[in-house]
Amino acid sequence: MSDPSAARATPADAVERWPVESSGIAWDSGRVIAVRTEQVRSPEGELLTRDFIRHPGAVAVVCLDEDDRVLVVDQYRHPVGHRLIEPPAGLLDVDNEDPAVAAARELFEEGHVRAGSWWLLTEFATSPGMADEVVRVFLARDVTAVKGTDRYVAHGEEASMTVSWIPLDELVDGVLAGRLHNPNMVIGALAAWAARERGWRDLRPASTPWAFKDGLPGRSFGPGPQDVPRLESDA
């Protein structure tokens, strides 16, 4: 008898669109995020109301030196009341900026280094049950430091960040022990460790098209032609 698992397709997320009966902006920060309310018709005919966060997306960088140490920063995160150890990362908030260019910019601004070699490490949806935020994680190597006079001057929470180089294995230990919680750090460290164990053979070019992000429905923040504004009584 043949093994049923042998015929199983390669695991992959599948595009699926349920009909949207109504859609409107429930709240808009005017800065980064907006909350949208949509009524969605399930295949069984049930009408479901869903609130979710609209987000422009982000990039993160696992930057490795010749000793397999990772450049990390520590940033205060007010919603969770912690200073988290993270890889350099940032929003895709510059119009039409290529994600790889955005990643290099964030590495320069937060890590005070430039990298000569870039690959795509992985990508993920941060919380697909409540937000359309997606993150693309890059691997950067061949690092050179930026001179002090040429460094980016940070502000806000980034003004107090410090830069450290931590061995990749120590970061993986911290992830598995529950000491590290930033999703870019958790996913980036585990992905880099796995890629190294596989001889880096699965790395994709940094310029690889971002099909998942490009395929997300309704990327604009403003109301569209079929949008129905949410009323206060609907809250």
**Cα separation, 157 vs 140, whole angstroms:** 24
pLDDT band at 36 (very low <50, low <70, confident <90, very high): very high
Q: Which residues are catalytic?
A: 158
Tokens of 128: 């697909």
Domains of the chain: 17-54 (no CATH), 58-208 (3.90.79.10)
Per-residue pLDDT, 224: 37
Tens digits of per-residue pLDDT, 78-124?
A: 999 999 999 999 999 998 899 999 999 999 999 999 999 999 999 99
Pairing of strands 58-63, 134-145: parallel
Please indicate, yes or no, whether the overall pTM of this predicted structure exceeds 0.75: yes
Cβ distance 34 to 230 under 8 Å?
no
Q: pLDDT at position 222, please?
A: 37
Q: How far apart are CA 90 and CA 116, in angstroms?
A: 20
- Residue labelled with tokens 């870039």: 118
